[in-house]
């Protein structure tokens, strides 16, 4: 089928939140560090509940953390 169509900005968000580690985020949302690694690599799509927990950990809306399909960065699309 190909690569996962659900993408995310988790790695960038961790960096922008005092360089939060994968383990710190995992502890905050109740998963393993390996789950965060898989999410960041695009090898795993989170459950809806986990997606909301991750967005809440960054105090953001779901759509600010996750996107569906191809999603250029704001720098690339001029926005």
3-state secondary structure 20-57: CCHHHHHHHHCCCHHHHHHHHHCCCCCCHHHHHHHHHH
The model's pTM: 0.82
What is the band of 37 on the pLDDT scale with cuts at 50, 70, 90? very high
Say whether pLDDT at 4 is over 70: no
Task: Please report the pLDDT score of residue 69 as a whole number.
Answer: 81
Rounded distance between C-alpha atoms, residue 22 and residue 17, angstroms: 12
70's tokens:
């191809």
Task: Please report the pLDDT score of residue 29 as a whole number.
Answer: 98
73's tokens:
């960065």
Superfamily for domain range 6-63:
lambda repressor-like DNA-binding domains (1.10.260.40)
Task: Please report the pLDDT score of residue 57 as a whole number.
Answer: 98
pLDDT tens-digit map of 7-33: 999 999 999 999 999 999 999 999 999
């Amino acid at each position: 089928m190909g690569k996962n169509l659900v993408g995310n900005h988790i790695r960038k968000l961790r960096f922008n939140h005092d360089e939060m580690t994968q383990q710190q985020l995992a502890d905050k949302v109740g998963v393993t560090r390996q789950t965060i690694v898989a999410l960041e690599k695009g090898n795993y799509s989170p459950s809806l509940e986990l997606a909301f927990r991750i967005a809440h950990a960054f105090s953001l809306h779901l759509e600010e953390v996750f996107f569906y399909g191809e999603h250029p960065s704001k720098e690339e699309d001029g926005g």
